[in-house]
Amino acid sequence: MARAKSNVPQTPEPHRPHVVIVGAGAVGVAAGLQLQLAGAQVTLIDRGAPGEGATYANGAVIGEEHVVPVATPGVLRQLPRMLLDGKSPLALRWSYLPQLAPWLWHFVKSARWSEVERISVALSDLLDGCMGAFTPLLDVAGARDMLRKTGWLGLYETRAGFDGYQRSLALQRRRGVRADVIPAAELRQLEPALGDTDRFHAGIYYPDVGYAADGLGLVQALARAFRQQGGRILREEVRDFEIGANGPKTVVTDRGRHPCERLVIAAGAHSRALTRRLGSDPPLDTERGYSLTLPTPGVRPRMPVYSTERGQVCTPIDAGLRLAGTVELAGLDAPPDWTRADLLLENARRWFPDLDGTGAARWMGFRPSMPDSLPVISQSPRFANTVFAFGHGHCGLMLSARTGELVRDIILDRPTSIDVAPFRVDRF
């Protein structure tokens, strides 16, 4: 007997937009998983494997105190001296200066205190909750133990260095950052791994900071969860886009063509060439950062220890001790200057005299850097179906889950949790 047809109207399945994300670094993977959890179909495309770009061997620090932009009046005053000192935290390949000049011009304009204050407010809004934003992603990945909240300790070897940081410290406190000044005599009570504290003037402890025990492993865990939820990750190089009536409709790679309804550019330091093809040209450049990973360091601090005077951090990761930092301005094509990595070990031995550098693994990565220290998190001014998410500088891993939330909301036409106007691609 034939079954009678139901007269109850069937609710149509909600449309699941197909989003292509160019970039499988920390930001791209986090955005992909956030979109997927919200019901979108997502494909990630990257020339490399997930997490093997700027996250691969970075300092892995995650916290809400990074509200001071890189460009400040104090940094500008120190710039000539640093550029002439081979051991300073900042180096410039002079042959790259003509290409870097537009970025430097915007950097200088961003260093006025009025601009620093404005930028710090936007950074504070973006950083607020950046560690908690990882929770739903790590829960899906079964990897909550990869983040450790320990605080971190800033060391100042000289009174001049400490005094020079006071205006930035006051700015942090205006943004609600918790920070405790630690006298030199009490530093070892907080961090017993330190050597003779007579060589320090003071320290600043930030309790609301943590780190990833394995930054690369964290991104890889999120990428595995993304695949398990039905996402695709393609190892291909994006070459171009085909534009339709509503914006980009096809992503063209070295291996094929991939249709998309929505598009996200999250390709880190390689994003500028892609955004140019989409009608936007932000002043994105590259801060080349170096690191050493010591497998048997002989000391293990309880928390990340850093120096603004020397521009580096020492982080106790699962693989040993990660020494990371310094900035080299030289673009994407120049070969590494490994003396920058070796300098990290020399500096760290001032704090941990018994540090064992045997078997140290060198690394150099490309930090995608905007001159005002604000990333681009923005709908394309030209194409409503396209979102840009890059330029996080030193804070890519730190801000990846938070940025993923904002990308998800922009793509799905939801209200964003903060005002994203300060992060517009066309703000310059």
Non-local CB neighbours of 177 within 8 Å, separated by 6+ positions: 64, 65, 67, 206, 208
Two tokens, residue 360: 């140290």
User: Strands 305-307 and 152-156, how do they pair?
Assistant: parallel
For 292-319, give one letter per residue: b (16+ CB within 10 A) or e.
bbbeebebebebbbbbbbbbbbbbbbee
Whether the per-residue pLDDT at 13 is higher than 80: the answer is: no
State the DSSP H helix or E strand holding residue 277, giving kind and residue range, or none if neither.
Answer: helix 271-277
- Write the CB contacts of 113 (distance below 8 Å, at least 6 apart in sequence): 72, 73
**In which band, very low, low, confident or very high, does the pLDDT at 1 lie, cut at 50, 70 and 90?**
very low
pLDDT at 139: 96
Position 343 pLDDT exceeds 50: yes
Residues with Cβ < 8 Å from 299, sequence gap 6 or more?
193, 321, 352, 354, 355
The fold adopted by the segment(s) 18-423 is FAD/NAD(P)-binding domain (3.50.50)
Mean pLDDT, range 179-194, rounded to an integer: 96
Q: Where are the domains of the chain?
A: 18-423
- What pLDDT does 83 receive? 81
Residue 84 pLDDT class (50, 70, 90 cuts): confident
pLDDT classification of 6: cutoffs 50, 70, 90:
very low
Query: How remote is the C-alpha of 343 from its chain's centroid?
Result: 23
User: pTM (2 decimals)?
Assistant: 0.94
Predicted local distance difference test score (pLDDT) of residue 2: 46
Quick: pLDDT tens for 241-280.
999 999 999 999 999 999 999 999 999 999 999 999 999 9
Comparing C-alpha atoms, which of 202, 374, 381 is closest to residue 284?
Answer: 374
Average pLDDT, the chain: 94
Q: Determine whether 217 is exposed, middle or buried from the number of CB atoms within 10 Å of its CB (0-12, 13-18, 19+).
A: middle
Question: Residue 195 has which token pair?
Answer: 């050597």
Chain segment 154-179, per-residue pLDDT in tens: 999 999 999 999 999 999 999 999 99
Report the 10 Å Cβ neighbour count for 276.
11
